[in-house]
A and B are shown apart, each in its own frame.
Chain A
Amino acid sequence: MNRFCVAALLLMSCFVMPAAAVIETYEFSNEELEQRYQDLSAELRCPKCQNQNIADSNAPIAQDLRKRLYQQLEGGASDGEILDYMVARYGEFVLYRPRFSGATAVLWLAPVLLLLAAIVLALLVLRRRKDSGERTGGELSVAEQQRLHTLLDESESGS
């Protein structure tokens, strides 16, 4: 079953498709290949499914991709070559970890930029708090005093 069912669970979306378990029993020539198979099949998206990686999907195309992945791993292809092959056939859509490019630069840089911006903002706040504490020390500014007077007047006339 699939990631999409999780979706169903979390907000009870109305389009869930129950699916049978997918357990492939490929025999790998060594453990390292098996580990790479598990890692890669979790990072490749089933092109025809809702939102599932090929490890969890039992769609025919996912079975086909798993088989190709297995064959390529056993054939000695590197991770990069396998991903290139998949992208050439199914487009960038197949990658759950989008590659860094002009279009995805903003995606990858956003967290860093956001963090920097937020930290700078926080530092500014800190500096202002510290300064204002030193400078005014609880005294009201002229503008504030005026505001206080108008407020007091209002409340007197209001009651």
Chain B
Amino acid sequence: MIPEIGHYALINALCLAVILAVLPAWGAWRRNTTAMSLAPGLAVGQLVFVAISFACLAAAFLQDDFTVKVVASNSNSLLPPMYKFSALWGNHEGSLLLWALILCFWTTAVALLSPQLPMQVLSRVLSVMGGIAVGFLSFSLFTSNPFERLLPGSPVDGSDLNPLLQDPGLIIHPPLLYMGYVGFSVAFAFAIAALLGGRLDASWARWSRPWTNVAWAFLTLGIMLGSWWAYYELGWGGWWFWDPVENASFMPWLAGTALIHSLAATEKRGLFKSWTVLLAIFAFSLSLLGTFLVRSGVLTSVHAFATDPARGMFILLFLAIVVGGSLILYALRAPAVSSRVSFAWVSRESLLLFNNVVFLVATLTVLFGTLFPLFMDALGQGKYSVGPPYFNAVFVPLMALLAPFMGLGPVSRWKGDTVARWKGELGISAAVAVVCGLTLPLLGADYNLWVALAALLAAWLVLGLVRDAWYRVRGASSLGSGLRRLTPSYCGMLLAHLGFAACVLGVVATSQYNVERDLKMSPGDSETLAGYTFEFVELAPVRGPNFVADEARFRVTKDNELIATLAPQKRRYLASGSVMTEAAIDAGLFRDLFVAMGEPIGSDGAWAIRLHYKPMVRWMWLGAILMGFGGFATALDKRYRRQRRTATASAQGVLHGA
């Protein structure tokens, strides 16, 4: 019964979405206040129904209702309850429902948090988001119904959730990632609403900017969690693989990064308006493209797509409508909104433009590299693989090119600046950064040129930021009051840029100084790696709630001092019989020690063991967390609320006048 209620609620949600997509937009066009005023209510109703639907599916999972197909194929009665719940989005149908839920959540958030928005604008924004919801809800209902029953002949027990997904990180990773992915739909909706209304001004940028920053922050955290999960759960110590599915989430992030910077120029200076709109369309289209790539099976091979084309065709069609429709609208409307603001070569505007150049090229390169094998295969030009060596070769120089200019950005002035002033402001920083670059790698195992370059660039970024923040804070009566002078959006920028510097340092140091050994070890053996002695103490059988495991117990010592005891496991899951490696990690700010078990070798109790020494690997994720928090911080800025209030006044004026 419960699944049927969920199914019914989902149908209701689709109906509301259709009304939301049509009625308020019509109202905005015909200036029908009644039709427009329905929009927030429709948005809330849509959220309520999708939430009911989601709750019903969650109930089916938690109650082990194996008559429901997705539950039978993705859950098991032995599964711990929290994984039964997260199993909901560990599959195609359920993850689409989560996507729809988050979309409705964003729609409702826009509806409730911006009563200050002019009614026409709000109606158009909500209608566009309703349109997107129509697409996803009908995709869910017509091609991947999560409530499909297996009757008669439902299994006694389910076939279990993939053990890889049975991890706390995986409970929060997909929702965070989707919050980011889907959050770009808000930026997209604002852009389309602005094009429809023909009013692309600074207020438009001010409205959509906090939403975009928050979505970007979620996406940053989501990607970071994914990378972290890959690192500890996959058992290999790798943290980024340039896999097409990873790229699918990385491309919107790159485009989103360009977008939040371009929005800054649009809001502050009324610049690059049509370009910013295009970026907003681009970022969301990449989110949709990612969905298409992952959901259609086209990545597996072009032929897999052809054998079961329903889902793929649906998304492809939806993608074509969204991208095609918005580009046509853009072509019709954008030239009418070009701005006429001037700025000098040496200015913050130029630097933001350069940021956009780099991130756009990075996005397009990742896109091209990801799609290249598909194109070649589809055109019958042979099979090619484009993997990490290619992406690293392209991506690393681009980021290295970005960093020098990125250090200038925060200290530069709008409209016009002078190189002489930059020299005065940053001369000392530059000198200190060079010294850092020359000396910091001496702390590592051997002097490494890449690490030197990374240290130089990171120091350049950090010193520039610190100096700029200091200039803003000093002169205040106390440090506290000085710090209060910094606006949330400035602090957000500060955090995000510091995070980027930490990321650069972490990525380069861990790639260059990483030490990895694959060994045959028996209990009693020990091995020394980067000064740490790993002693294999004993092997013991262990039992978990739904698995049995062999556990290897290691003692790690350095200079005869106990550093950590590590216990990697080799698990066999009872329901599916699949075998999994659980790595053991001793995490530290400056180094991680990592042990994973391979296969038993021979009959004398020896195992294949992987030992890793990974310096500064945490910096990468800490950096990403800083970036994420930076994104959230910017949205707290008072000016968004204050300006909205003035917007209310003028909007009311307009409405009364009309």
Contacts and interface: CB of A to CB of B under 8 A. Distances in A.
Q: Tell whether A pairs with B.
A: yes
Interface of A: 1-16, 18, 20-26, 38, 42-43, 45, 50-51, 53, 56, 91-98, 103-104, 107, 110-111, 114-115, 118-119, 121-122, 125-126, 129-130, 132-134, 136-138, 158-159
Interface of B: 89-92, 95, 162-165, 170, 173-174, 177, 226, 229-230, 233-236, 238, 241, 243-246, 248-249, 290-291, 294-295, 297, 299-300, 340-345, 349-350, 353-354, 356-357, 360-361, 364-365, 368-369, 372, 376, 381-390, 393-394, 398, 516, 518-520, 570, 576, 578-581, 596-599, 601, 608-610, 657-658
Nearest to A137: B342
Nearest to B222: A10
Contact of A130 (B164, B345, B596): B345
Contacts of B344: 130
A58 to B, nearest CB: 9
30 contacts: A1-B234, A1-B581, A3-B241, A4-B243, A7-B244, A10-B248, A14-B92, A15-B297, A18-B163, A20-B570, A21-B236, A21-B581, A21-B597, A21-B610, A23-B609, A25-B601, A38-B516, A50-B300, A56-B238, A92-B382, A94-B385, A96-B387, A103-B381, A118-B357, A122-B356, A126-B350, A126-B353, A130-B343, A130-B345, A133-B343
Given A9-B170, A115-B357, A122-B357, A21 B598 contact: yes
Contacts of B295: 13
B385 A25 contact: no
B287 to A, nearest CB: 11
Contacts of B241: 3, 6
A107 B386 contact: yes
Contacts of A110: 364-365, 368
Nearest to B364: A114
B596 A96 contact: no
A11 B368 contact: no
Given A6-B246, A25-B601, A98 B385 contact: yes
Of the candidates B342, B364, B599, the one having the most CB atoms from chain A within 10 angstroms of its own CB is B342
A93 B384 contact: yes
A24 B353 contact: no
Contact of A91 (B173, B345, B383, B394): B383
A25 B384 contact: no
Contact of A111 (B243, B361, B385): B361
Contacts of B233: 9
A7 B387 contact: no
Of the candidates B173, B369, B390, the one having the most CB atoms from chain A within 10 angstroms of its own CB is B390
A133 B344 CA distance: 9
B307 to A, nearest CB: 13
Contacts, number: 208
B162 A16 contact: yes
Nearest to B395: A111
A18 B384 contact: no
Given A1-B234, A11-B290, A23-B609, A129 B343 contact: yes
Contacts of A121: 357
Nearest to B658: A159
B234 A6 contact: yes
**Nearest 5 Cβ contacts at the A-B interface:** A133-B342, A96-B387, A23-B598, A7-B245, A97-B389
Contacts of A22: 598
B520 A25 contact: yes
Contacts of B300: 15, 50
A18 B162 CA distance: 7
B386 A136 contact: no
B580 A12 contact: no
A159 B31 CA distance: 12
A100 B36 CA distance: 57
A56 to B, nearest CB: 6
Contacts of A137: 342
A7 B246 contact: yes
Nearest to B654: A159
B642 to A, nearest CB: 27
Contact of A125 (B91, B248, B353): B353
B239 to A, nearest CB: 9
A9 B164 contact: yes
A116 B55 CA distance: 51
Contact of A51 (B164, B177, B243, B599): B243
Given A24-B518, A110-B365, 14 more contacts: A1-B236, A5-B164, A9-B229, A10-B177, A10-B226, A11-B290, A12-B90, A18-B578, A18-B580, A25-B519, A96-B385, A111-B365, A111-B394, A130-B344
A98 B598 CA distance: 30
A21 B235 contact: yes
A18 B343 contact: no
